[in-house]
């Protein structure tokens, strides 16, 4: 049983993606790691090379600046890396994600278990979406909480939409022609992916957010939203957060130590509509989220 890792990144240093930690966090369970490195100007490629791992294979890519609809560029880049993998299973890690070292053996055991069951096409993970600080998690209803990060390879399984998850398609041509695909049958690991998409100094967060949204919106939208914005307004960008009581992956310790900005949940100003207040109270009591996005079918 061979396991491939794969990812993509562009100017990861400029926008403070923990891409080196992401790669290293899954290398121990991978036989190879393929990463599509976009046309970067900040030493991102060199930083990956400096890791010195013989497992890592870099694919140089050029990002299409005109592909600015629904984040399609991210799915395209993920698929470029995926199609170069040779493993029986492929482990996707994004540039702002990290796996805890304590979970690696468990993940390997889940893959080994799934390998024996032809029904299973992927593994499902929980997402810890950090927001504002390494101490707090996004607790709003408008953030995905579960997704597929390991897939059975060579079965016409490709990145779905903006690379958030995966689906199976009749063929790659069908995928390119925007076939909706079929949800994967997955084994639920209940293991976490540490997702650091909204943890940066407010000024750097603003730069990262504008870069990310560039592949979703046109210049007019970006100019209106970011032209006068120098620092990201964490407090008006989310309705609530919750304290994270656990430990982070050891690879992230240097990032935790470098947190030198204030994030105070008591200063959140975004109002919660009455409907959401009612739903939140019920969900908190039941410990269940209604209407959660489910891009998968769980195998019992």
In this structure, what token pair is assigned to residue 169?
A: 């398609």
Residue 213 burial (10 A CB sphere; 0-12, 13-18, 19+): middle
How far apart CA 92 and CA 60 sit, in angstroms, is 18
In this structure, what token pair is assigned to residue 296?
A: 């998968």
Please name which of 247, 109, 117 lies closest in space to residue 186, comparing C-alpha atoms: 117
pLDDT of residue 65: 78
- CA-angle at 140, arms to 139 and 146, nearest 5°: 75
How far apart CA 172 and CA 169 sit, in angstroms, is 7
- Residue 153 lies in domain: 1-300
The strand pairing partners of 78, in sequence order, are none
| Residues of the chain scoring pLDDT < 70 | 228-229
pLDDT of residue 229: 64
How far apart CA 78 and CA 147 sit, in angstroms, is 15
The CATH number covering residue 97 comes to 3.90.550
How far apart CA 194 and CA 192 sit, in angstroms, is 6
Number of structural domains found in the chain:
1
pLDDT of residue 60: 98
């Amino acid at each position: 049983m061979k396991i491939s890792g794969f990812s993509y990144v562009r100017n990861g240093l400029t926008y403070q993606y923990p891409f080196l930690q992401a790669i290293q966090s899954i290398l121990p369970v991978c036989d190879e790691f393929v990463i599509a490195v976009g046309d970067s100007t900040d030493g991102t490629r060199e930083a990956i090379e400096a890791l010195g791992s013989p497992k890592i294979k870099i694919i140089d890519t050029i990002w299409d600046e005109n592909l600015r609809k629904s984040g399609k560029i991210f799915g395209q880049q993920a698929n470029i890396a995926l199609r170069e993998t040779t493993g029986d299973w492929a482990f996707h890690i994004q540039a702002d994600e990290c796996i805890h070292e304590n979970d690696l053996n468990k993940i390997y055991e889940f893959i080994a278990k799934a390998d024996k069951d032809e029904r299973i096409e992927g593994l499902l993970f929980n997402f810890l979406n950090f927001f504002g600080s390494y101490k707090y998690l996004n607790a709003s209803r408008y953030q995905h909480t579960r997704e597929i990060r390991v897939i059975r390879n060579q079965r016409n399984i490709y990145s779905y939409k903006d690379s958030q998850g995966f689906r199976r398609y009749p063929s790659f041509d069908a995928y390119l022609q925007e076939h909706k695909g079929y949800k994967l049958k997955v084994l639920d690991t209940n293991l976490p992916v540490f997702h650091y998409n909204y943890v940066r100094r407010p000024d750097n967060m603003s730069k990262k957010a504008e870069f990310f949204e560039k592949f979703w919106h046109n210049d007019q939208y970006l100019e209106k939203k970011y032209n006068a914005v120098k620092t990201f307004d964490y407090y008006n960008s989310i309705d609530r957060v919750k304290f994270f009581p656990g430990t982070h992956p050891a690879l992230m310790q240097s990032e935790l130590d470098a947190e030198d900005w204030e994030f105070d949940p008591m200063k959140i100003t975004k109002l919660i509509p009455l409907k959401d207040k009612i739903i939140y109270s019920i969900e908190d009591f039941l410990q269940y989220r209604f209407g959660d996005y489910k891009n998968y079918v769980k195998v019992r």
